[in-house]
Amino acid sequence: MATGYGRIARDGLWDNNGVLAMLLGMCPTMAMTTSATNGLGMGLATAVVMAASGGLVATFRGYITQEVRIPVYILIVAAMVTVVDLTMNAYMHDLYKVLGLFIPLIVSNCLPLARLESFASKEPVLPSLADGVFMGLGFTLALTAIGAVREILGAGTLFADASLLLGPAFSFMEVRVMPESMGTLMMILPPGGFLVTGFLVVGKRMIDVAGGKAIQMGGAHAV
């Protein structure tokens, strides 16, 4: 397995994006993307958990036996989720109230456990930490993009209440894109989440196919 940091970054952000490529973590994706702000908050919380968990599993992998590895991974993720949960409750309480139950449910998110099993348990600490960071950032980008599309089409805003949920410093992100009367309610309801996610997945795969064809044509011309 390649451990080059460029490859790790590309895998996490694009090639093996947890939502748009592997279709993991669909529960928080559908529930927490009614706005770009909620998607950003949920994604960053997950990214912190994934980075910390990946580093810890890589550090102690020599002591984790094959028979108990899954319970140990879950325990490590649960401990990191508890830290994030308490920190958000203390310092970002408004966002904490919005994300609610879905912060503890990061423990059952398939994406962190999948990366611990497939990468952190086999690679050194720094690459594992980087894998957690970039996989988490890829998850954040996907949730934020889905939330942005749903919010614009559903409410006509972008990053609404960012200053309330993330702090006054984020007030510059709040944008009114179109009049509220032009919004489509369905887009901020569950059907809108499935529609937007589906279109983004298709769009990513079309870009991948087009890129692959361009590389093949370039190679043919070179020959």
Which segment, 3-7, 128-132, 215-219, is predicted with the most confidence on average? Answer: 128-132
Of the pLDDT bands very low, low, confident and very high (cuts 50, 70, 90), residue 2 is very low
Give domain status of residue 58, yes or no.
yes
Average pLDDT over residues 36-52: 95
Does residue 188 fall inside a structural domain? yes
CB 93 within 8 A of CB 41: no
Provide DSSP, 206-220. Answer: HHHHHHHHHHHHHHH
What's the whole-number average pLDDT of the chain?
A: 91
pLDDT digits (tens, 9 = 90+) for 87-96: 999 988 888 8
pLDDT at site 208: 93
d(CA 134, CA 122): 17
Instruction: Taking residues 123-151, report their average pLDDT.
Output: 96
Q: What is the mean pLDDT of residues 102-131?
A: 92
Number of domains in the chain: 1
Please report whether residue 114 resides in a domain. Answer: yes
How many Å apart are CA 132 and CA 3, to the nearest integer? 13
Q: Which domain holds residue 95?
A: 15-210
In a domain, 9, yes or no: no
Q: Does residue 220 fall inside a structural domain?
A: no
pLDDT at residue 222 in the model: 55
Mean pLDDT of 169-197: 91
Q: How confident is the model at residue 221 (pLDDT cuts 50, 70, 90)?
A: low
Per-residue confidence (pLDDT) for residue 1, from 0 to 100: 43
| Dist CA 66 CA 146 (whole Å) | 37
- Model pLDDT, residue 223: 53
Structural domain includes residue 27: yes
Q: Is residue 7 part of a domain?
A: no
- In the chain, the amino acid numbered 32 is M
5 inside domain = no
**Closest C-alpha among 13, 11, 8 to residue 138:** 13
User: pLDDT-based confidence at 108, cuts 50/70/90?
Assistant: confident
Q: What is the pTM of this model?
A: 0.92
